[in-house]
Structure 1
Amino acid sequence: MRVFVTGASGWIGTAVTAELLANDHEVLGLARSDRSAAAVAAAGAEVVRGDLDDPEGLAAAAAKADAVVHLAFKHDFTDLAGAARAEDVAVRAMLDVLTGTDRPFLIAAGLAGLAASGLPTELDPSPHEGVDSARGGSENLALSYADRGVRAGALRFAPTVHGTGDHGFTAQLVKVARERGVAGYVGDGSNRWAAVHRSDAARLVRLALDGAPAGERLHVVAEEGLPAKDIATALGERLGLPVASIDPQDAAEHFGWIAGFFGVDAAASNTRTRELLGWEPAGPTLFADIAAGAYDG
């Protein structure tokens, strides 16, 4: 299968690219810079120069592929509305050229805002609808093409896709802890985060390309819900720092931009995904990665 991967040089994208290449797929990797292009080429993928502001280029690359994995997003926290609009245009451009082909289109999504008691499941729809919503409502947009001859599916990634070299949410929590001299959590720390090791996430993406039916929401989740207090405790033990509750009113000042993520409940069930794809996570847990020094650098 010839797969067009946006975000191919990113944290998740590099692992997905390696997983696909190791399993006899070809990869077309989107690269917006010389540095990204060099990384994509070094991995053994074909470089497609462009970015999310080039819908015509994205459509042309999607048309040449047997499948699309859309992992890229403009993470510009100073202009989230603009990022959402760009996402809407980019996703529509790729989906329109795939209409009627029955080719897979997998889109990265998140777990935030799922309205369910206990553990949200893959059957719970995203509340983000329309270009003015989070990520431009791209999950629901993509899934709407399941009725238009596209094998569209949503990849709802855990908030921490962890491993050595991670520069995402967990790495940011480490940075804040070192700067503040304390490993903090918000309020009573009972809110939960799902987690998945990067290798497990990449394998799930490959399995989804091979066998997920159209319209599926897949939870890229190994550990369904780790309490924020336990995450802070694990970080404190590894860093040799005290662990403390941060008043919700002070969270933004203490944590900075990540306060809005670390203070929410982002747990999710993975039962349907595992059963559908025969996927069993095998990588280290988040706490094992922390204890082994994955975030010491």
Structure 2
Amino acid sequence: MRIFVTGASGWIGSAVVPELIDAGHGVVGLARSDASAAALEAAGAEVVRGTVDDLGVLRDAAAASDGVIHLAFKHDIAFSGDFQGAAEADRRAVDTIGEALAGSGRPFVIASGVAGLAPGRVATERDMPVDDGSPVSTRMATAQAVLGLAARGVRSSVVRLSPTCHGDGDHGFVATLVGIARAKGVSGYIGDGANRWPAVHRLDAARLFRLAVEAAPAGSVLHGVAEEGVAIRDVAEVIGRHLGVPVTSVAPEAAAGHFTWLGGFLGLDAPASNTLTRELLGWEPVEPGLLADLGKGHYFDTQAPTA
């Protein structure tokens, strides 16, 4: 297949592209910069220049493809405080791609998340998000709209990713937590730290996206979850050991001051299963788990971001 990939040079996309090429697919990647274009060309992909705001570019590239994997999201804007704006831009991009694929039977796979699906219990692929009026709900509504494209002749699927997609080169949540621990001189967790985050290695996630674009039935919900839930206290202990700093509890009311923007996420208890995904597509995660990956030391080789 000739697959159009947005976010092709990003953290997940840069693993998805070689996964697709190694499986014999052609890849057309969206690139918004010269550096991204060069990286995609070096990986063996064709390049389309543009951003998620260039709706005409998205429409034409989707229409010319045999399928689409949509990974792009304005994370820089989202984490600077305008998550709603980023989510609305994402919805426009998804609607444009969906229109281009309507009635074709071609696959359309997007990335979403598992966090917040089922507070207090293990979330499954059958759980549907609840609209609570938050900006996160806007993005979840976009995922629901993609699933609805199944009724319009699109083989649509949603891969709900773990909040922790870890691996060498990660600059996300875990790298930020490392940076905060280094800056503060303590490795912290909120409350008793028993709350759990699902985790998946980005190479395992990349393989799931390939399986989805190849074979996921229309309207499928898939969980990019390798580990059901890793206690945040355990993560903090590994970080503390590697940095040689104390490991300590941070009171919930002090979380925002200590962890900055990460404080709103770090206290979530959001375990999730992958049983239905494995049964549907035969996906078997094989890469190291989060604590083992942290133990390799690459998260501590360079200065990690603090916010």
Q: TM-score, normalised by structure 1?
A: 0.96
Instruction: Tell me if structure 1 keeps the 8 A contact 2:63–2:100.
Output: yes
**Structure 1 SS opposite 2:211:** helix
Structure-2 separation of matches of 1:195 and 1:14: 18
Partners of 1:159 and 1:266 within 8 A in 2: no
Gaps of 5+ in 1: none
What is aligned with 1:269? Answer: 273
Q: Which of residues 87, 92, 107 is equivalent to 1:104?
A: 107
Offset at residue 198 of structure 1 (A) = 1.2
The residue that corresponds to 1:138 in the other structure is 142
Counterpart of 1:126 in structure 2 is 129
- C-alpha RMSD over aligned residues: 1.5
Equivalences for residues 108-257 of structure 1 within 5 A:
108-115=111-118, 117-128=120-131, 133-135=137-139, 137-257=141-261
Residues 39-50 of structure 1: matches in 2 within 5 Å? 39-50=39-50
What is the letter of the counterpart of residue 279 of structure 1? W
Deviation at 1:130, TM superposition (A): 8.8
> Is this contact kept in 2: 1:85–1:131, CA < 8 A?
no
Identity percentage of aligned residues = 57
Distance (Å, rounded) in 1 between the aligned partners of 2:35 and 2:130: 36
CA separation in 2, counterparts of 1:209 and 1:135?
21
Q: CA deviation at 1:160?
A: 0.9
Are 2:34 and 1:27 equivalent residues in the alignment? no
**Closer, same or farther in 2 for the Cα pair 1:105/1:194, shift >3 Å?**
same
- Cα 1:136–1:217 shift into 2, 3 Å: closer
Are the equivalent residues in 2 in contact too, given 1:112–1:266 (CA < 8 A)? Answer: yes
Match for residue 58 of structure 1?
Answer: 58
1:86 matched to 2:89: yes
Contact kept, 8 Å, 2:121 with 2:270, in 1: the verdict is no
Pair 54,65 (structure 1): closer, same or farther in 2 beyond 3 Å: same
Distance 1:279 1:136, change over 3 A: closer
- Deviations 1:215-259 (CA, angstroms, capped at 9, x unpaired): 111000101101111111111112211111101111011011111
SS at structure 2 position matched to 1:217: strand
Aligned to 2:304: none
In the alignment, is the contact (CA less than 8 A) between 1:100 and 1:149 conserved in 2?
yes
Matching of residue 281 in structure 1 with residue 285 in structure 2: yes
Query: Is the partner of 2:12 in helix, strand or coil?
Result: helix
Q: Render the CA deviation track for 1:40-84: whole Å, top value 9, x for unaligned.
A: 111110011111111111011101111110011011132222112
Partner of 1:73: 73
Match of 1:290 among 289, 294, 298: 294
Number of equivalenced pairs: 297
Per the TM alignment, residue 266 of structure 1 is displaced from its structure 2 partner at its CA by 2.2
Query: Is 2:4–2:68's contact at 8 Å kept on the other side of the alignment?
Result: yes
Change (3 A) 1:260 1:16: same
1:294 is displaced (CA, Å) by 2.2
The answer to whether the 8 Å contact 1:129/1:137 transfers is: no
Deviations 1:181-225 (A, max 9, x none): 111001111111001111111111111111111111100010110
Query: Where in structure 2 are there 5+ consecutive unaligned residues?
Result: 302-307
Letter of the structure 1 residue corresponding to residue 124 of structure 2: T
CA distance, structure 1, for counterparts of residue 133 and residue 251 of structure 2 = 34
